């Protein structure tokens, strides 16, 4: 954070100068006291509102402006019809709502769940709010309204709102140790994100007002850089990005200042070096030189720091963000887009430390990776960030939810052996951060398809869909996509401005697509380069057609030689989808313990077929391989002649995201290879 923030600047417009929000009379108690006023134009706001961010090159399209009808439509339907309602049942069953009811005298149950339990409800609220941004669901809204009333009813007159640090735990509030491990501000960060999403879906400020009261009445007067204030340490980053989105919603700069203060750290508190690494906070963010510590905390801190840059343009932040991003793609990124190598501390490992069976790859970390890259994309308009988003979305995030929408992966390994007794998909985790996080990602996904810029429209993601929005100069624009992506590489886009208009359509050419063809109204357009946006500027007329042909050739990939676990192994990718082997699909004996004797050939042609009745409809790959004759039960054997010739076979590979949806079976992404 450049310079220092004076107490006067820091507290400007808090309390008496703030105006009251349009109040729902039923919630007078919840909204008592001064609040800050949200913008009145709440309709059709995007996931991240960069409309007034001075250092954002791109601005997102609202969730409700895009109707998806292709691949992601089925996934999102499952999310709405199965995942979101079943997760609410799980949350209720495990006491997440009785924690609120108890404080109103409606329940005699004790507090249930970990210190961060409130955040589970808030993330579910955000997911459901994005559904309401896409479609009219009166019953869902009714459920949410009732739930929100239960939540805001327990807010204290001071503005404090948390069901864990009450009664005998009240004295622990905002103590240093509590801030480091107690998730108070983490919970409020998710509260604010859920409240903003619901406000943007419905215009109802009830939940948002209570969140503003927490910040304005409880946090700002008592905590911060002032001499009479208690320091803040963000033990689990989250509050930073939510504060900046709160600024984008209200226009009150104090929230950016508070986020900047938290990102900068406060030297009045001494924090252990190990905690500074693990929490990814406690020192000025621009002093960071690599990704380390708890992977989700790290990704969320990077999100908050990027948001801060988008509002301030602080060059020290951008320099650090670029350094950290290069560390991500050069040393820390799984081929699936997952991050976080170590189970211990759910943490990043050393450079090139990317184990497979032991990979942690928490679903929340992959989501954090996508969220961070979406912000970096907004700052630059560069396709390198969209490529990482897509890799994470189709693979490391998509794998986190079962095909029926009721089972979830907390971790996402790249190799698995069921004989260990581990159950990778479960309907519930007492730390249930990942399920509603996946649900809010799928529910908000249409908001990531397009962005506008001063000179046109960017197309980020491909899927059959229709967009109805406008350019930044106000010109109404409809765009449709016809495609069977990600299984086929042909995409037909129809561009229909309300009147003939000159602007630029930026088409993302994915980094994995080696050969590309682009035609506009049948005429070839040159200049398409993998990993870049192709700028097509012309006067567009309603019905103009763009034809995009992407290279869907399957590729065998090798990892950097420094990735020890992948030496002598290959992975397969086709389009944005990474594939894996599951034992259930292979031509091996039923008593084979694992896939150890199978090898993939570096030669030979990969066969692709689409199986509409398999795993919800997927492309399946078959590639030549060998079944070695080694006794896999022998621990050591002679190296002489141990290469063997092996028996020819065909290996069958399915999309990685679809694994563990049938009977328990071994799985691996990285497969030992043979040259012949």
pLDDT at 600 over 70: yes
CATH number for the region 450-549 comes to 2.60.40
pLDDT grade, residue 118 (50/70/90)? very high
Average pLDDT of the residues in 132-146: 97
Average pLDDT of the residues in 460-479: 98
Chain length of the chain? 676
Within the chain, all domains assigned CATH 1.50.10 are found at 7-448
pLDDT at 302 over 60: yes
pTM of the model: 0.94
At 370 the three-state DSSP class reads helix
Listed in sequence order, the residues at least 6 apart from 106 whose beta carbon sits closer than 8 Å to its beta carbon are none
Cα–Cα distance for residue pair 199/214, rounded to 1 Å:
17
- Percent of the chain topping pLDDT 70: 92
Cα–Cα distance for residue pair 512/510, rounded to 1 Å:
5
Look at residue 36 in the predicted model and tell me its pLDDT: 64
620-640: b (≥16 Cβ within 10 Å) or e: bbbbbbbbbeeeeeeeeeeee
pLDDT grade, residue 589 (50/70/90)? low
Q: What is the DSSP letter of 507?
A: E
Within the chain, all domains assigned CATH 2.60.40 are found at 450-549
Which residues make beta-bridge pairs with 578? 573
Cα–Cα distance for residue pair 341/322, rounded to 1 Å:
21
pLDDT at 560 over 70: yes
Q: Which of 286, 287, 294, 198 is nearest to 237 (CA)?
A: 294
For the chain, the average pLDDT equals: 93
What are the CA-CA distances from residue 422 to residues 109, 268, 660, 666 (Å)?
A: 32, 44, 12, 11
pLDDT at 516 over 70: yes
pLDDT grade, residue 644 (50/70/90)? low
Look at residue 112 in the predicted model and tell me its pLDDT: 96
pLDDT grade, residue 588 (50/70/90)? confident
Q: What is the pLDDT of residues 565-585, one digit of tens each?
A: 999 999 999 999 999 999 999
pLDDT grade, residue 628 (50/70/90)? confident
Listed in sequence order, the residues at least 6 apart from 182 whose beta carbon sits closer than 8 Å to its beta carbon are 115, 164, 165, 172, 235
Look at residue 9 in the predicted model and tell me its pLDDT: 40
Q: Which fold has domain 7-448?
A: Glycosyltransferase (1.50.10)
Average pLDDT of the residues in 193-220: 97
């Amino acid at each position: 954070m450049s310079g220092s923030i004076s107490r006067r600047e820091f507290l400007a417009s808090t309390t008496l100068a703030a105006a009251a929000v349009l109040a729902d009379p039923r919630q007078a108690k919840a909204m008592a006291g001064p609040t800050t006023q949200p913008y009145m134009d709440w309709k059709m706001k995007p996931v991240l509102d960069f409309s007034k961010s001075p250092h954002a090159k791109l601005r997102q399209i609202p969730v409700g402006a895009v109707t998806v009808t292709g691949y992601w439509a089925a996934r999102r339907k499952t999310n709405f019809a199965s995942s979101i309602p079943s997760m609410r049942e799980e949350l209720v069953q495990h006491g997440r709502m009785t924690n609120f009811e108890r404080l109103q005298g409606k329940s005699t149950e004790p507090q249930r769940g970990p210190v961060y339990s409130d955040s589970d409800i808030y993330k579910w609220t955000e997911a459901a709010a994005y559904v309401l941004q896409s479609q009219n669901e009166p019953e869902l809204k009714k459920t949410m309204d009732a739930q929100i009333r239960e939540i805001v009813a327990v807010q204290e007159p001071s503005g404090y709102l948390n069901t864990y640090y009450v009664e005998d735990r009240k004295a622990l509030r905002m103590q240093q140790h509590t801030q480091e491990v107690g998730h108070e501000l983490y919970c409020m960060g998710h509260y604010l994100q859920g409240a903003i999403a619901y406000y943007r879906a419905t215009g109802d400020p009830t939940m948002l007002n209570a969140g503003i009261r927490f910040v304005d009445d409880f946090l700002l007067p008592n905590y911060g850089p002032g001499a009479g204030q208690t320091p803040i340490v963000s033990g689990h980053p989250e509050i930073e990005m939510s504060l900046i989105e709160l600024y984008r919603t209200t226009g009150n700069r104090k929230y950016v200042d508070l986020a900047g203060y938290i990102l900068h750290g406060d030297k009045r508190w001494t924090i252990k070096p190990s905690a500074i690494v693990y929490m990814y906070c406690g020192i000025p963010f621009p002093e960071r030189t690599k990704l380390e510590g708890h992977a989700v905390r790290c990704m969320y801190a990077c999100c908050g720091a990027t948001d801060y840059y988008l509002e301030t343009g602080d060059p020290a932040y951008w320099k650090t963000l670029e350094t950290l991003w290069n560390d991500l793609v050069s040393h820390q990124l799984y081929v699936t887009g997952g991050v976080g190598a170590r189970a211990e501390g759910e943490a990043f490992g050393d450079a090139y430390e990317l184990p497979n069976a032991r990979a942690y790859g928490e679903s929340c970390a992959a989501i954090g990776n996508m969220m961070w890259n979406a912000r970096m994309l907004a700052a630059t308009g560069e396709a390198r960030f969209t490529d990482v988003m897509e890799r994470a979305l189709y693979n490391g995030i998509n794998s986190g939810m079962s095909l029926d929408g009721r089972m979830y992966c907390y971790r996402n390994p790249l190799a698995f052996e069921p004989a260990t007794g581990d159950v990778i998909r479960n309907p519930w985790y007492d730390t249930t951060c990942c399920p509603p996080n996946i649900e809010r990602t799928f529910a908000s996904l249409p908001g990531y398809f397009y962005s506008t810029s001063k000179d046109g429209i960017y197309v980020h993601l491909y899927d059959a869909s229709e967009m109805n929005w406008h350019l930044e100069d106000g010109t109404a624009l409809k765009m449709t996509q016809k495609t069977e992506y990600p299984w086929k590489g042909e995409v037909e886009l129809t561009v229909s401005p309300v009147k003939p208009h000159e602007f630029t359509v930026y088409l993302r050419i994915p980094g994995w697509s080696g050969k590309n063809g682009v035609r506009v109204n049948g005429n070839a357009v040159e200049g398409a380069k993998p990993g870049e946006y192709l700028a097509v500027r012309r006067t567009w007329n309603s019905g103009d057609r763009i034809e995009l042909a992407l290279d869907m050739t399957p590729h065998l990939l090798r990892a950097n030689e420094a990735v020890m676990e992948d030496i002598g192994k290959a992975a397969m990718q086709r389009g944005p989808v990474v594939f894996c082997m599951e034992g259930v699909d292979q031509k091996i004996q039923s008593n084979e313990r694992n896939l150890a004797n199978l090898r993939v050939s570096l030669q030979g042609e990969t066969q692709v077929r689409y199986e509409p009745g398999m795993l919800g409809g997927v492309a399946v790959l078959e590639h030549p391989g060998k079944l070695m004759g080694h006794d896999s039960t022998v621990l050591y054997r002679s190296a002489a002649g141990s290469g063997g010739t092996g028996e020819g076979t065909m290996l069958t590979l399915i999309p990685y995201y679809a694994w563990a949806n049938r009977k328990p079976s071994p799985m691996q992404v990285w497969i030992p290879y043979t040259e012949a």
